[in-house]
Amino acid sequence: MSILDGFRDKDFLEQITLLNDLAANRPAEALPGLLELFENPIGDSSVDSMVVIALNALLAENEPYAVECLGQQDCKLRTLCIRTAGEHRFASAVEPLTRLAEETQDQDLALECLTALARINDPAALPAFRKHLASTDPLASGLSIEMCGHFRDVSALPWLKEVVRRSLTGDRYQTCDVPTWKAIQALGDLATDEAVQFLASHLHHKNPIARRLITDVMVELGEKAIPALLESLYSPDEDVRILAANVIGFTELRSGGNGLVDAFDRGQADTANVRYAFYEAMGRIGTMKNLVCLMDGLSEPDELLLMAVVGGLERHVNPGMIRTLLDRLHRDDEQARRLAEAVISSKAVNLFQTLHDDEPAARQLMDVLVQSRDDEIHDAFRQTLERIGSDRSAADLQRLAEAEAAQSTGRRALAVDDSRSMLALHRAILGDLGFDVALAANGQEAMDHLLSQGSVDLVVTDMNMPVMDGMQLVEQIRNDPDHESVTIVMVTTEKEASQRGLAENAGVDAFITKPFRPEELKEMLGKLIGN
Amino acid sequence: MDVELAKPFIKAAVDVLSTMAMITPEAGRPYVKKNNVAQGDVTGLVGFTGEKSGSVSITFDKALAITIVKNMLGEDVQNIVEDVKDAVGEIVNMVSGQARAGLSQQGYSFQGSTPTVIMGDNHTISHVSSGPIMAIPFTAAFGAFTIEFCIE
């Protein structure tokens, strides 16, 4: 007599209790009865689903039977066994599942097999994944691509490259599809020279999400990515050189830092945009060669570049650097004034604290500081002056308080950029125009600010940023009735019309291309929202 | 691995909408987004926890949401706003439940939260997760909807 005899005549509670018991104790003799119930369901969805759970539990104990059922033509039981094999990682199922995935024309069945094989995680299943790399089902192809990457299957490389190339054809670049996402990650998993080289050559992918994915993968690859990134510093395409320098900076690797200096010395930083990216990256890394190059950069007449230089030096303050800076400030010329402005605008509090020991330098810096209309700058240096605790700093604190009392503003602006130097520049420019300026390092921070602090009159945002890029930020702002009237200016180095078109559709009011002189932005803002 | 987890949700959405609301949706090509925002007129959102945690949202165009309500309630629509809210919440709950049942057969156990419904033309909502979000666009006779799916 079987445990399940008369099951259909029992009441609901008895049925559930019995099935629960079977699922927990897994008696082998209940298998035929459960199979019968599975094939001919009771019709009550709770009971039927319990039957599946109990049957799954029993199959988990009976690998040979479950694997044998993979060859069945009965779809229902076969599907259950495929899932059981995956869940319990049945090694003996790899061969039949691989065969099934290779032979079937049914996309649902193929995805079931691939999913189970992915969970079993045996490289013997590679032929199945290879077979579905180019599947028209994006989920099957995405999963296959991911697994080929996971097993470092170099034979998949040509297809992975093809997927990324195809994502750029026609108007496909407007979205980043699942196979493209997985292909970028798989190329990173393969990490062969060819794969890394390929990723480096696509740093400037037209789709912002794909571009972010590539950047993330390159940063994760670290040392392995450096040779290809250094090579990209010699690309004829300016945007590629900029992105390569950014990624090198994010890795914070010394090999990358020294390579940046070599490329700089060979004239690869020939435009202000590229030079800016180089300085920022060198500042993040800070090898001895980087610092020497940054010190040379103190002669840059361009305010933006000078801020990148000072921002970089701020991270690695040393006595030699301070001597040079004092020497420059003591010349009391035009460049000395720019330098003092750069120290204040980029909130270089460490440099400020050390330079403040010197009377003439302290005076120059304070002259600039009291001119600033930016609360955050005032706060930062107020804290620094308090920390210094000398007689001179006490007098300067008094001077700062008086200057603040004389200023007051009504308009609010939000500057969004992942570069500290750019933020500092925006703060200085917008502060000059009489805005109360708030800063955010990416779109998400900007949205958080708008949510917690209420709307602003003006948003100045970068396009490429981590976490949430400028395009997505603009879309979100424009979709919120609270911020309908916000004027949005996008700062960009991108030159393709396609990028601007996308941003314009999202709701950007005006663009300004980096590098720009502060006057240009001021003039544009004057036209957009009045002085 | 997470791509394959999307399939049960797609299947559940198609099943639930075709049986409950007499709508036959067709899935488009999934795409990836990195911001955590869903856009549309009516959204139902369910968070889930378990082996992995994340959230699923279904965002409907207004026209489609109204069609669904009419199909579900017939002529008995009392207060369109309340009824849309109720229907979308119910649909998302059913999709989440059915998908989790499917996933449990693959050995994943998830607990779902009570669905939240957000209404408002072109609103935005946030997902719980910080990872990439997979969006699956669907088209149906009276409008479009999108399922978004993200797993930590």
Interface contact flag, B101 A49, Cβ < 8 Å: yes
Within 10 A of A398 (CB to CB), how many other CB atoms are there?
11
How far apart are the CA of A2 and the nearest CA of chain B, in angstroms?
Answer: 25
Residues of A in Cβ contact (< 8 Å) with B124: 476, 479-480
Structural domain boundaries in chain B = 3-151
User: What is the pLDDT at residue B122?
Assistant: 66
What amino acid occupies position B57? S
Alpha helices by DSSP H, listed for A301-358, are 303-314, 319-330, 334-345, 349-355
Contacts of B35 (CB under 8 A, 6+ apart): A443, A444, A468, A469, A472, A476, B133
Strands (E), B25-142: 26-27, 31-33, 37-50, 54-60, 110-112, 116-126, 133-140
| Minimum CA–CA partner of B122 in chain A | A479
User: What is the pLDDT at residue A141?
Assistant: 94
Q: At what angle do helices B80-105 and A45-61 cross, to 10 degrees?
A: 20
Tokens of A342: 């750069």
Cα distances (Å, whole numbers) of residue A299 to A32, A294, A303: 86, 10, 11
Interface contact flag, A142 B7, Cβ < 8 Å: no
DSSP annotation of A124: G
User: What is the pLDDT at residue A305?
Assistant: 92
CATH code for the domain defined by B3-151: 3.40.1550.10
C-alpha span between B112 and A369 (Å, rounded): 54
Count each helix (H run) and each strand (E run) in chain A, helices first: 30, 6
What amino acid occupies position B72? M
Peptide bond into A32 cis (omega under 30): no
DSSP A154-196: GGGHHHHHHHHHHTTSTTGGGSEEHHHHHHHHHHHHH--HHHH
Strands A510-513 and A487-492: what pairing? parallel
- Tell me the CATH class for A411-529: alpha beta
Interface contact flag, A146 B1, Cβ < 8 Å: yes
Distance of CA A127 to the CA centre of its chain: 33
Burial of B36 (0-12, 13-18, 19+ CB in 10 A): buried
Provide the b/e sequence for A288-323 (b: ≥16 CB within 10 Å): ebbbebbbebbebeebbbbbbbbbbbbebeeeebbe
C-alpha span between A48 and A38 (Å, rounded): 7
Interface contact flag, A177 B32, Cβ < 8 Å: yes
pLDDT string in tens for chain A (531-residue length):
578 888 888 888 989 999 999 989 888 888 889 989 998 888 888 888 889 889 988 998 899 999 998 888 778 889 889 999 998 999 999 999 999 999 999 998 999 999 999 999 999 999 999 999 999 999 999 999 999 999 999 999 999 999 999 998 888 888 889 999 999 999 999 999 999 999 999 998 988 889 989 999 999 999 999 999 999 999 998 989 999 999 999 999 999 999 999 999 999 998 999 999 999 999 999 999 999 999 999 999 988 899 999 999 999 999 989 999 999 999 989 999 999 999 999 999 999 999 999 999 999 999 999 888 777 888 899 999 999 888 889 889 988 888 877 765 578 899 999 888 788 888 888 888 888 889 998 998 999 888 887 888 899 998 888 778 888 888 888 888 788 788 999 987 766 556 777 788 888 888 888 778 888 888 888 888 765
Choose the mutation target among B1, B2, B4, B39 for the interface with A, i.e. most A CBs under 10 Å. Answer: B4
Residues of B in Cβ contact (< 8 Å) with A209: 32-34, 132
**Residue A249 and residue A243 in contact, taking contact as beta carbons nearer than 8 Å:** no
Tokens of A101: 């995935």
**Residue A505 and residue A499 in contact, taking contact as beta carbons nearer than 8 Å:** no
pLDDT string in tens for chain B (152-residue length):
577 788 888 888 888 888 888 888 888 888 888 665 666 788 998 888 887 788 888 999 888 888 888 888 777 777 778 888 888 888 888 888 888 887 877 777 788 788 888 887 767 677 766 667 888 899 888 888 999 888 77
C-alpha span between B48 and B54 (Å, rounded): 6
Q: How many CB pairs under 8 A join A and B?
A: 85
Cα distances (Å, whole numbers) of residue B118 to A427, A485, B57, B89, B124: 36, 23, 10, 9, 9
E strand or H helix at A470, and its extent? Answer: helix A470-478
Interface contact flag, A176 B32, Cβ < 8 Å: yes
Query: Of B124, B65, B36, B74, whose CA–CA distance to A481 is shortest?
Result: B124
Q: At what angle do helices A31-39 and A75-87 cross, to 10 degrees?
A: 130
User: What is the pLDDT at residue A409?
Assistant: 57
Interface contact flag, A139 B4, Cβ < 8 Å: yes
User: What is the pLDDT at residue A94?
Assistant: 94
Provide the b/e sequence for A256-266 (b: ≥16 CB within 10 Å): bbbbbbebbee
Tokens of A11: 């009441």
Tokens of A364: 């120059």
* Residue A511: strand pairing partners: A490
Choose the mutation target among A111, A181, A478 for the interface with B, i.e. most B CBs under 10 Å. Answer: A181
- What tens digit of pLDDT does each residue of B77-92 get? 777 788 888 888 888 8
Using DSSP's 3-state secondary structure scheme, residue A97 falls into: helix
Residues of B in Cβ contact (< 8 Å) with A119: 1, 106-107
Query: Of A91, A97, A33, A88, whose CA–CA distance to A59 is shortest?
Result: A88
